[in-house]
Amino acid sequence: MARPSRTRTASARLLALATLALALAACGSQLEPGDVRVAGGPIAIDGPVTSADGAVPGASVPGAEPGAPVLPGSSDGGTTTAGGSTGRTGATGSAGDADGAGEPADTAENAPTGGAAAGSCDGFDNDQTGVTADTITLANSVDISGPVPGLFESAQQGMRAFVAYFNATEELCGHKLEVLALDSRSDAGADQQAYQRACDESFAAVGSQSAFDFGGAATAQSCGLPDLRAYSLTTDRRNCTTCYAAYGVRPGQVPNAMPQFWVKKEPDAVKHVAMLYVNAGAAPENASAFRKAWTANGWNIDIFQGIDVSEFNYAPYVQQMKDKGIEFVNYIGPYQFTVKLQQAMAQQGFAPKVFLQDATIYDAAYVEQAGELGNGVYVYSQTHLFDDFSIAEMELYRAWLSQVAPGAEPTAYGVYAWSAARLFVQEATKLGGKLNRKTLVAALSQVRDWTANGMHVPQAVGAKTTANCASIIRLDGGTWTKVSPGEFLCSSLSNLGS
Partner 1 sequence: MSSFVSFTIFGLVSGAAYAIAASGLVLTYTTTRVFNIAHGAFGMVLAFVFWDFSERQGLPLWLSLVLVLLVVAPATGWFVSRFVTKGLGEAPVSVALVVTVGLFVGLIGLAQQIWPPEARFVPPFFAETSFQLGDTFVTAHQLITILSSIVVAVLLYLLLNRTRIGTAMRASVDNPELLKLFGGRPEQVASLSWAIGISLAALGGVLLVSVVGLDYYALTLLVINAYAAAMLGRLRSLPLTFVGAMGLGLLTSYASAYLPTEGLLNSVRNVVPALFLFAVIIILPQAQLRIGQVKGIVSAPLPSLGKAVGWGLALLAFVGLVAGSTSQANLLLVGTAATYAIVMLSLVLLTGYGGHVSLAQLTFAGVGALAYAKLDQPNLYGLVVSALIAAAVGGLVALPVLRLTGLYLALSTLAFASIMDKMIFQADFAFGFNGTLPAGRLSILGAPINGTGGYVFAMTVFLVLVAWGLLLLRRGVLGRMLIAMRDSPAACGTLGLDMRWFRVGLFAMSAGIAGLAGALFAGLRGTIGSADFQSFNSLPLLLLAVVFGVTSITGAVLGGTGLMLLPVLSSGDPQLGGLLFAIIGFGAVFAGRDPNGLANLLFRTGRVLERRVAPLVLGRIPDLPGRRRPAGAHDGSVEVPLSQLTTEPAEAAEPTEAPAPVEDKKEVGAHVATRG
Question: Judged by CB under 8 A, does residue 77 bind partner 1?
Answer: no
Question: Judged by CB under 8 A, does residue 236 bind partner 1?
Answer: yes
- Residues 350-369 vs partner 1: string with x where CB under 8 A? ---------------x--xx
How many beta carbons lie within 10 A of that of residue 192, not counting itself?
19
Minimum CB distance to partner 1 smaller for 85 or for 239: 239
Residue ranges with strand state E in 154-222? 176-183, 204-206
CA gap 184, 191 in Å, rounded: 5
Instruction: Out of 22, 45, 68, 105, point to the residue binding partner 1 (CB under 8 A).
Output: 22
Question: Judged by CB under 8 A, does residue 45 bind partner 1?
Answer: no
Instruction: Out of 126, 347, 479, 481, point to the residue binding partner 1 (CB under 8 A).
Output: 347
Q: If residue 411 lies in a helix (H) or strand (E), which one and from where to where? A: none
Q: If residue 266 lies in a helix (H) or strand (E), which one and from where to where? A: none
CB of 234 to partner 1, least distance (A): 7
Question: Judged by CB under 8 A, does residue 304 bind partner 1?
Answer: yes
Residue ranges with strand state E in 200-242? 204-206, 227-231
Question: Judged by CB under 8 A, does residue 479 bind partner 1?
Answer: no
Pick out residues in 259-288 that bind partner 1 (CB under 8 A).
279-282, 284-285
- Beta strands 253-255; 493-495: pairing state: antiparallel
Alpha helices in 122-211 (DSSP H): 153-169, 188-201
Would you say 44 and 402 are in contact if contact means Cβ atoms under 8 Å apart? yes
CA gap 102, 119 in Å, rounded: 35
CB of 316 to partner 1, least distance (A): 4
How many beta carbons lie within 10 A of that of residue 178, not counting itself?
17
Minimum CB distance to partner 1 smaller for 161 or for 217: 217
Left, alpha or beta for 309 (phi > 0: left; psi -120 to 50: alpha)? alpha
For residue 474, give every residue at least 6 positions away whose Cβ sits within 8 Å of its Cβ, in sequence order, or none.
376, 377, 378, 379, 480, 481, 482, 483
Instruction: Out of 75, 107, 219, 459, point to the residue binding partner 1 (CB under 8 A).
Output: 219
CB of 335 to partner 1, least distance (A): 9
**Among 164-172, 254-262, 339-347, 443-451, which window interacts with partner 1 (CB under 8 A)?**
339-347
CA gap 159, 207 in Å, rounded: 6
**CA dihedral of residues 395, 401, 407, 410 (deg, nearest 10):** -60
Question: Judged by CB under 8 A, does residue 193 bind partner 1?
Answer: yes
**Among 60-68, 86-94, 132-140, 341-349, which window interacts with partner 1 (CB under 8 A)?**
341-349
Minimum CB distance to partner 1 smaller for 197 or for 482: 197
Question: Judged by CB under 8 A, does residue 231 bind partner 1?
Answer: no
CB of 268 to partner 1, least distance (A): 23
Minimum CB distance to partner 1 smaller for 8 or for 438: 8
Q: Is 407 helix (H, G, I), strand (E, B) or coil?
A: coil
Instruction: Out of 3, 105, 126, 485, point to the residue binding partner 1 (CB under 8 A).
Output: 3
Pick out residues in 109-148 that bind partner 1 (CB under 8 A).
144-147
CA gap 449, 496 in Å, rounded: 23
CB of 287 to partner 1, least distance (A): 11
Q: If residue 329 lies in a helix (H) or strand (E), which one and from where to where? A: strand 328-332
What phi, psi does 277 have (nearest 5°)?
Answer: -150, 155
Instruction: Out of 65, 122, 127, 308, point to the residue binding partner 1 (CB under 8 A).
Output: 308
Question: Judged by CB under 8 A, does residue 303 bind partner 1?
Answer: yes
CA gap 91, 75 in Å, rounded: 5
What phi, psi does 286 have (nearest 5°)?
Answer: -65, -45
Instruction: Out of 11, 126, 128, 495, point to the residue binding partner 1 (CB under 8 A).
Output: 11
Instruction: Out of 83, 93, 150, 376, point to the residue binding partner 1 (CB under 8 A).
Output: 150
Instruction: Out of 152, 203, 299, 317, point to the residue binding partner 1 (CB under 8 A).
Output: 317
CB of 202 to partner 1, least distance (A): 12
Would you say 348 and 341 are in contact if contact means Cβ atoms under 8 Å apart? no
Instruction: Out of 152, 214, 328, 413, point to the residue binding partner 1 (CB under 8 A).
Output: 214
Minimum CB distance to partner 1 smaller for 27 or for 101: 27
